[in-house]
């Protein structure tokens, strides 16, 4: 692959990112009408689908020539089996992608650029299909809802029983689909370590205008069936013998709870500090369990972060910064962080400023926060802005866990 040509031409595409993805899907569905049924029906869900497509494309281009790209493509191919993607779909997508790139590049598109992208897409498609072919797992798991708890209007805890063993590690997440919202998949963290009975807990925060999260929190009932994609994610314990800090905001508590279960089963040699952040005390929905853990295990210290009574919820941010500043020895610690993407990004910056080593701050990847600037303080490019439209504060419930 000619990486130079690919990256320079993609820089042109980034400036017209929204046009590129809309043209891609229009071309794909016009020339392959049978494929349309594999995608969400609503315009809002298709907008999110366009976001994910461009996010994946940006990820691939940014890592051209990087040794991490091939494992990423293999995993992407395994995951796409749940969409029933076959060789004919990869061919159709390739043709429409080239058409969209050509249309978007305009005069910058020439035979050399076309050749570079044709070769690159073939490499990408081959790697994804190889990853799919090598997997021994099913494309998805059917799972029955056996318990459904509501905490307030917008938080639900669902206990699922997969009909076949569902391998996962504490801290990982799974993609979820429901018949109530056909062809829509969203990712939710698994809130428990593996259990003898194989059941899983998912913590779901309802996103405003989010059709699947609304269905799971407010409409789903025990006895209903969901589908699960394979577990994924890197927020797993390293067991390096170092002190550990766990930081969770909102339903980002779910994977941290799973990590705590693992630590409780095999107590660590070093101390563990847990910081639980919520927009107000009412949203500390799992506090009784956290208090039980704190009372039972001498190695665990817990700090709750909420605004003072009557104060704006943004005050929790300043309180977290103060609490983290009081925690010593950041260069010696492993930090596990989970919450809405802007919260994660802001907290990573804060931790690094306190001396935490970047290689010891673990979280699942997230797009840049909707602040108008990227992680290095530079203004977002057009493509990045398209992926991370300016949002309010990280407390906004539309913040979602980062998934490909």
Return the CATH number at 297: 3.40.50.80
Residues 218, 129 share a domain: no
d(CA 139, CA 71): 18
| Mean residue pLDDT across the chain | 85
Q: Is residue 398 part of a domain?
A: no
Residues 129, 31 share a domain: yes
Residues 368, 292 share a domain: yes
First to last CA, the chain: 23
CATH label of the domain that carries residue 205: 2.40.30.10
Residues 280, 375 share a domain: yes
Is residue 386's pLDDT more than 70?
no
Q: What is the pLDDT of residues 13-39, one digit of tens each?
A: 988 888 899 999 999 999 999 888 888
Q: According to the model, what pLDDT value does residue 367 have? A: 38
Residues 268, 224 share a domain: no
Closest CA to 114 of 265, 266, 2: 2
Residues 59, 118 share a domain: yes
Residues 146, 129 share a domain: no
- This prediction has a pTM of 0.79
Number of domains in the chain: 3
Residues 172, 74 share a domain: no
Q: What range does the domain containing 263 cover?
A: 244-387
At residue 113 the predicted structure's pLDDT band, cuts being 50, 70 and 90, is: very high
Q: According to the model, what pLDDT value does residue 385 have? A: 36
- Other Cβ atoms within 10 Å of 233 Cβ, number: 22
Q: Is residue 396 part of a domain?
A: no
Residues 253, 380 share a domain: yes
Q: According to the model, what pLDDT value does residue 312 have? A: 67
d(CA 381, CA 285): 38
Tell me 281's DSSP state: G
Residues 120, 146 share a domain: no
Q: What is the pLDDT of residues 205-228, one digit of tens each?
A: 998 888 899 999 999 999 999 999
Task: Order the strands of the 200-205 sheet from edge to edge.
Answer: 185-189, 173-178, 225-228, 141-151, 155-162, 200-205
Residues 178, 118 share a domain: no
Domain end position, chosen among 182, 197, 228: 228
Q: Is residue 8 part of a domain?
A: yes
């Amino acid at each position: 692959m000619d990486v130079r040509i690919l990256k320079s031409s993609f820089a042109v595409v980034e400036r017209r990112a929204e046009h590129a993805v809309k043209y891609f899907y229009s071309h794909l569905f016009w020339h392959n009408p049978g494929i349309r049924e594999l995608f969400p029906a609503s315009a809002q869900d298709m907008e999110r689908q366009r976001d994910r497509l461009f996010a994946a494309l940006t990820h691939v281009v940014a890592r051209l020539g990087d040794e991490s790209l091939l494992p990423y493509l293999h995993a992407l191919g395994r995951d796409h089996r749940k969409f029933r993607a076959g060789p004919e779909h990869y061919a159709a997508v390739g043709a429409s992608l080239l058409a969209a790139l050509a249309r978007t590049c305009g005069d910058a598109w020439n035979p050399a650029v076309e050749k570079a992208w044709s070769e690159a897409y073939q490499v990408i498609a081959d790697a994804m299909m190889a990853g799919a072919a090598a997997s021994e797992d099913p494309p998805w798991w059917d799972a029955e809802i056996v318990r459904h708890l509501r905490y307030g209007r917008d938080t639900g805890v669902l206990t699922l029983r997969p009909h076949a063993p569902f391998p996962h590690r504490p801290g990982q997440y799974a993609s979820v689909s429901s018949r109530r919202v056909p062809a829509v998949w969203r990712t939710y963290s698994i809130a428990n370590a593996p259990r003898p009975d194989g059941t899983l807990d998912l913590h779901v925060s309802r996103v405003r205008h989010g059709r699947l999260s609304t269905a799971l929190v407010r409409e789903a009932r025990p006895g209903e069936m969901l589908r699960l994609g394979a577990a994924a994610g890197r927020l797993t314990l390293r067991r390096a013998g170092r002190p550990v800090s766990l930081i969770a905001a909102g339903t980002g508590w779910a994977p941290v709870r799973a990590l705590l279960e693992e630590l409780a089963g095999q107590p660590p040699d070093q101390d563990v500090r847990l910081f639980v952040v919520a927009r107000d005390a009412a949203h500390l929905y799992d506090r009784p369990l956290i208090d039980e853990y704190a009372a039972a295990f001498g190695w665990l210290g817990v700090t709750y972060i909420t605004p003072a009574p009557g104060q704006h919820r943004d005050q929790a941010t300043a309180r977290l910064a103060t609490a983290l500043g009081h925690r010593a020895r950041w260069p010696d610690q492993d930090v596990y962080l989970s919450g809405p993407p802007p919260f994660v990004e802001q907290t990573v910056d804060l931790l690094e400023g306190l001396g935490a080593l970047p290689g010891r701050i673990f979280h699942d990847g997230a797009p840049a926060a909707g602040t108008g600037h990227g992680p290095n303080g530079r203004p977002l490019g057009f493509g990045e802005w398209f992926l991370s439209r300016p949002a309010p504060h990280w407390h906004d419930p539309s913040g979602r866990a980062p998934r490909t």
